[in-house]
Amino acid sequence: MTQETGGFAALDLNPNIVAAVLATGYEEPSAIQQQSIPIILAGHDMIGQAQTGTGKTAAFALPILNKIDVSKREPQALILAPTRELALQVATAFETYAKQMPGVNVVAVYGGAPMGPQLRAIRNGAQIVVATPGRLCDHLRRDEKVLSTVQYLVLDEADEMLKLGFMDDLEVIFDAIPASRQTVLFSATLPSSIRSIAERHLREPKHVKIQSKTQTVTAIDQAHLMVHADQKIPAVLRLLEVEEFDALIAFVRTKQATLDLAAALEAKGYKAAALNGDIAQNQRERVIDSLKDGRLDIVVATDVAARGLDVPRITHVFNVDMPYDPESYVHRIGRTGRAGREGRALLLVTPRERRMLQVIERVTGQKVAEARLPNAQAVLDARIKKLTMSLAPLVAESEATHGELFDRLTADLGCSARALASALLRKATNGQALDLGAVEREQPLVPSFAPRGERTERADRGERREGGDRDRERRAPMPLAEGRVRCRTALGARDGIAAKNLLGAILNEGGLARDAIGRIQVRDSFSLIELPEDGLERLLTKLKDTRVAGKQLKLRRYRED
């Protein structure tokens, strides 16, 4: 990509939208955006065949924002997505691209959340509604006119919606919105069911087909770590304690984040600097030169600031914030492993970003291994190793050059050689904790998520308590209500699962009313869910491919005998 920013402006988009897009780090439209945006702006119906990760969200979000009448406080655009996670992701993208468009309101409508606030947001003037079909039909049953003002309809990942059994819901939605609407359909594949929808509901659609060519560098050692958003800076600081790097680039999404992380690193003694779009070109060049010659070891950058960055001594890339798409991920990790050298790329993933991790793995065709944050013992070992390496070159000649001074100091202080050496070490290490207890107190961060198959520290502690997790695993299930059966999934607390996650997934993908689902009991290694006996097999079939927190739900009837 070039440094020029005329690509999006050339598409006749609102300058405020272009500015918001450029602020995210995009400089040139992707292939799907270049072809789709003019078609949608011209008012044509369209079928876009493109994989997730090709930039298709912006391909429909930007022209729709361009067409929205901000003065009208009523639903104007409806975007349908197959899952709650994708609906949230699309809604967030719309909000990001509309940051410089006052008056634009976006609402995400999905199962597992209260219906009242969602319906009020639609009635109160949200111009853009991003919804899952099942929950949207629930709203239509309450208010069949709620979508009567919609002018633009987008079906995102239409093939996935049909796989999840939303065909009937889609027909209800088609009937509830004006026939004069503009309709855009995106799908990775075009089976006969999708073509049938297009024939019935699209008017002379234009066709756009994009093949994803993203490939990643296989020589780079890639891993991801699960953290909560507020753990990111402590997580980076802990990782830096144990990672043996020459130079490192850390990617974040915003200019402010570059400043915050760079300041935290400098406070810990690292030679770090921020690199973002507000930095003048001459200053940017000085930062890169300093990274090249060793005056800097860490640069914290946004995507836009790191375009074309080529520094052979970069051994590590930290993706502190999740990239917007797989192309950005490949560009980022390509900053390391240059000129045949080894490289390592680490990606911090929050619970909401699990789906994007799966997209990256699917599009790049590579598994990003799961890792854990280093514990206190690993941090202590790394500190002692660094101290040993820094002292090793000095030991041979120090007695000859400083031996007499050492003897004088022990005499003047009236202390032993061991006491003086200990004091000098303390001064040299600037009070850094170098015993296990102190390191544990200094770095209380504990990873919230453990790799699959491993036990979390919390679970281990629970087993040591009398009547801990083992007893909870053994206890008998609660009595069943009439007309319900109990189903079991192998997902539990150690997978980062809470009852609300299971409830939301089943409401969203199963099309059930809230009162149809009974008690949900989350244990350490599995969960039990009460579901209606009538139509159970049909429901389990609909939920067959459902994923919760990035893992397959795999519900089955629980036999209690």
Same domain, residue pair 153 and 299: no
Mean pLDDT of 177-182: 94
In this prediction, residue 45 carries a pLDDT of 96
Mean pLDDT to the nearest integer, 36-41: 95
Q: Tell me, what's the pLDDT at 259?
A: 92
Distance separating alpha carbons of residues 78 and 151, to the nearest angstrom: 8
Q: Taking a C-beta distance cutoff of 8 angstroms, is the pair 158, 197 a contact?
A: yes
Rounded distance between C-alpha atoms, residue 539 and residue 555, angstroms:
10
Same domain (yes/no): 229, 337: yes
Same domain, 37 and 129: yes
Q: Is the confidence at residue 13, as pLDDT, over 50?
A: yes
How far apart are the C-alpha atoms of 157 and 207, rounded to whole Å?
A: 15
CA-CA distance, 292 to 286, in Å (whole number)? 10
For the chain, the average pLDDT equals 82
Q: Tokens for 556? A: 């089955």
What is the CATH number for 170? 3.40.50.300
More confident site: 558 or 149: 149
Asked if the model's pLDDT at residue 212 lies above 50, the reply is yes
- Which among 173, 76, 78 is positioned nearest to 125, based on CA atoms? 76
Residues 329 and 419 in one domain: no
CATH number for the domain harbouring residue 496? 3.30.70.330
Q: Is the same domain home to 204 and 231?
A: no
Residues 348 and 418 in one domain: no
Q: Is pLDDT above 60 for 456?
A: no
Pick from 371, 342, 329, 331: which is nearest to 246 by CA?
342
Residue 380 included in any domain: no
Which helix (H) or strand (E) segment holds residue 85: the answer is helix 84-97
| Confidence (pLDDT) at 311 | 83
Record the tokens describing residue 392, joined without a space.
């090793």
- Residue whose C-alpha is closest to residue 276's, from 17, 23, 3: 23
Which residues, in sequence order, are bridge partners of residue 155? 80, 185
Helix axes 167-176, 133-142, angle to 10 degrees: 50
| 71-125 pLDDT, tens digit each | 999 999 999 998 887 888 899 889 999 999 999 999 999 887 888 889 889 988 8
Whether the per-residue pLDDT at 61 is higher than 60: the answer is yes
Q: Is residue 378 part of a domain?
A: no
Please report, for residues 83, 173, 318, 538, the alpha-carbon distance to residue 543 in angstroms, rounded to integers and kept in the order given.
12, 21, 36, 9
Could you tell me if 397 and 316 lie in one domain? no
DSSP 470-506: HHHHHSPPPPPPTTEEEEEES--GGGT--HHHHHHHH
Q: What is the pLDDT of residue 529?
A: 92
SS3 assignment for 100-148: CCCCCCEEEECCCCCHHHHHHHHHCCCCEEEECHHHHHHHHHHCCCCCC
Domain boundary among 180, 209, 238: 209
Torsion of CA 131, 134, 138, 141, to 10 degrees: 110
In a domain, 451, yes or no: no
| Burial (Cβ within 10 Å: 0-12, 13-18, ≥19) of residue 206 | middle
Q: What whole-number percentage of the chain has pLDDT above 70?
A: 86
Q: State residue 468's pLDDT score.
A: 42
pLDDT at position 185: 95
Q: Do the Cβ atoms of 132 and 87 come closer than 8 Å?
A: yes
409-424: per-residue pLDDT in tens? 888 889 998 888 888 7
Amino acid of residue 301: A
In terms of domains, do 170 and 238 share one? no
Where does a domain end: 350, 373, 396? 373
What is the tens place of the pLDDT at every residue in 262-317? 999 998 889 999 998 788 777 888 898 899 899 999 999 988 666 657 788 899 99
Residue 262 lies in a domain: yes
Query: Given a cut of 50, is residue 163 above it in pLDDT?
Result: yes
Tokens of 252: 């974040």
- pLDDT tens for residues 244-262? 899 999 999 888 899 999 9
Please report whether residue 479 resides in a domain.
yes
The position carrying tokens 């994989």 is 51
Q: Are residues 361 and 492 in the same domain?
A: no
For residue 528, the SS3 value is strand
The domain boundary residue, chosen from 153, 186, 209? 209
Domain assignment of residue 281, yes or no: yes
E-strand spans in 350-483?
A: 369-370
pLDDT tens digit string along 476-487? 556 677 788 999
How far is residue 128's CA from residue 536's CA, in Å, rounded to a whole number? Answer: 35
Domain containing 404 equals 386-442
CA distances from 447 to 40, 496, 536 (A): 44, 11, 37
Give the number of other Cβ atoms within 10 Å of residue 27's Cβ: 18
Residue 282, CA distances (Å) to 24, 152, 197, 293 in order:
22, 45, 55, 17
Task: Measure CA 342 to chain center.
Answer: 26
Q: DSSP for 247-297, please give it.
A: EEEEE-SSHHHHHHHHHHHHHTT--EEEE-TTS-HHHHHHHHHHHHHTS-S
Q: How many domains does the chain have?
A: 4
Q: Are residues 183 and 139 in the same domain?
A: yes
Four-point Cα dihedral 371, 252, 37, 103, nearest 10: 120
pTM of this structure: 0.51
Q: Are 292 and 313 in contact (CB under 8 A)?
A: yes
Residue 331 lies in a domain: yes
36 has a pLDDT exceeding 90: yes
542 and 401 assigned to the same domain = no
Dihedral sign for Cα atoms in the order 360, 445, 229, 239: negative
pLDDT in tens, 333-386: 888 876 556 789 999 999 888 888 988 888 788 889 999 888 878 778 878 787
Structure tokens at 481: 């209500």
295 domain-assigned: yes
pLDDT for 168: 87
Residues 262 and 348 in one domain: yes
b or e along 419-452 (b: 16 or more beta carbons within 10 Å of the residue's beta carbon)?
ebeeeeeeeeeeebbeeeeebeeebeeebebbee
